[in-house]
Amino acid sequence: MSTLSIPQITQAVRSGERSAAEVLAASIAQIEATDERINAFTGTRFEAARALAAQVDAKRARGEALGPLAGVPFAVKNLFDIAGEVTLAGSKVNRTNPPAHEDAVLVQRLLAADAVLVGSLNMDEYAYGFTTENTHYGPSHNPHKLGHTAGGSSGGSGAAVAAGQVPLALGSDTNGSIRVPSSFCGVWGLKPTFGRLSRRGSYPFVASIDHLGPFASDLSGLALSYDALQGHDALDPGCFATAVQAVTPSLGQGVQGLRVGLLGGYFVEHASAAAREVVAQAAAALGASATVEWPDAEQARAAAFITSASEGGALHLQRLRAHAADFEPLSVDRFISGALQPAAWYVRAQRFRRVYRDKVHALFRDWDVLIAPATPVAAPALGSEWIDINGQRFPCRPSIGLLTQPISFAGCPVVAAPMWPSGTEGLPIGVQLIAAPWREDLALRAGWALEQAGAAFLKPAPLAPSPSGGGLGWGQGGGTQTRQQQRKE
């Protein structure tokens, strides 16, 4: 089956070569053909999506200008508010909450760009996890090897794009929850600068570290979606950006004139041979050879753990008191222990963070983009308790974030680029392309250069093709059928 990038979809809809309804039909067919095996979706809204696609087609018929994402199907991690639906945030406890009265701001912005919302996606409960092994809604499966994790906590988002169900998805990233699924599923992901995009209408985890951002099937589509998501939100005190800085026009510059370095030390010691291989491939494609030492990475990871546990535990304290038995068994103890952490630990972590960010930001006086692996290994099997990194045994679930947590804690923007090493039985490992705060454009330019060089790309998952894809899809997929409603226990 041929593939279409996000820009090709929008061009086909604008030109009339394809209608938004046809593009949506291909997406729905792929969801129905694959999701019983992938378990990316916790809820679909196909009738509402058909109405949205019809609106896009009617605008074109009237000769009206279409938005930059015209006809592009997308889905969102189920911590984003969707008007009229309960925002689950991966939990059982939230099921009794009232429905959201309006869409999350980022959902509104994609809809305003004429994208078409098709449903909500699986995640670790309350975003506390790296594997999307959700007891309430079932685990999301890696489309490239179904017995393996899709990553987390935005596992449904990564899996949906990798399986060709949608070319665009929204997720959140606190300690790596966009970059880890991007790495494990082999798709493009963007964790923007902390405070760049509005978080209004999303269920929080750790307010001082939470980021929201997109997953996409291609780099240009990632940039297009990022441009559509930007804009100051005066009602979100955590949205610090004051103006849109469009990145799409600058992609073609690639890495010309950019100073690109490789992170050494901690980021080599905690990377498997396959992870080091993809960094070498990216370095060769981007002309990078110099090694750069990232300051205090191990301490930053520890401080991120303390901050996450403390803020997460405090946020859910009343729910833990009333509904602890209904929490995810894989995370409830961490929430409880976080609520019991001494306040002095949290204060020390924040004091360290101030000094740490200054050290990190100083790196970018000499460098524009820094390269590191996104995960230490390829996707482990579901249920794994341990992973091996260079002969050392590490606990699986927390150690998946070894290479992402230090970057989050500094607030830097990161593009996760899908790479394909040897020796992983066809599983991908992504690289992080890290830039200074507010310089998403530089990280995206580096990603574009990797894509143009053929070093980073989405590879169709080895599933049976959709029977009615008709060449409209953005990746191959297959399987059986989807749930039309949220999974019930």
Task: Say yes or no to pLDDT of 484 above 70.
Answer: no
pLDDT tens, position by position, 419-476: 999 999 999 999 999 999 999 999 999 999 999 999 999 999 988 554 444 444 554 3
8 A C-beta contact, residue 327 and residue 94: no
CA-nearest of 236, 175, 194 to 401 is: 175
Distance CA 341, CA 97 (A): 28
Active site residue 459: no
Q: Could you give the angle at the alpha carbon of 42 between the alpha carbons of 471 and 148, nearest 5°? A: 75
With tokens 């701001």, the residue in question is 105
Sheet containing 429-435, strands listed edge to edge, beginning at the edge strand earlier in sequence = 41-44, 116-121, 73-77, 168-173, 211-216, 188-191, 414-419, 429-435, 369-373, 260-263, 291-292
Distance CA 78, CA 85 (A): 10
* pLDDT in the model for residue 464: 57
Catalytic residue of the set 177, 202, 220, 331: 177
Distance CA 289, CA 252 (A): 22
Active site residue 225: no
Residue 422 CB neighbour total at 10 angstroms: 10
pLDDT tens, position by position, 23-59: 999 999 999 999 999 999 999 999 999 999 999 999 9
Catalytic residue of the set 5, 153, 272, 399: 153
CA-nearest of 159, 453, 174, 455 to 308 is: 174
Active site residue 384: no
Beta bridge partners of 416: 189, 432
8 A C-beta contact, residue 17 and residue 467: no
Distance CA 87, CA 249 (A): 35
Q: What is the DSSP string of 321-386?
A: HHHGGGS-TTTHHHHHHHHTS-HHHHHHHHHHHHHHHHHHHHHTTT-SEEEEESSSSSPPBTT--E
Could you tell me the pTM of the whole model?
0.95
Catalytic residue of the set 77, 92, 145, 191: 77
Q: Which domains does the chain have, with CATH numbers?
A: 6-452 (3.90.1300.10)
pLDDT tens, position by position, 6-25: 999 999 999 999 999 999 99
Task: Say yes or no to pLDDT of 485 above 90.
Answer: no
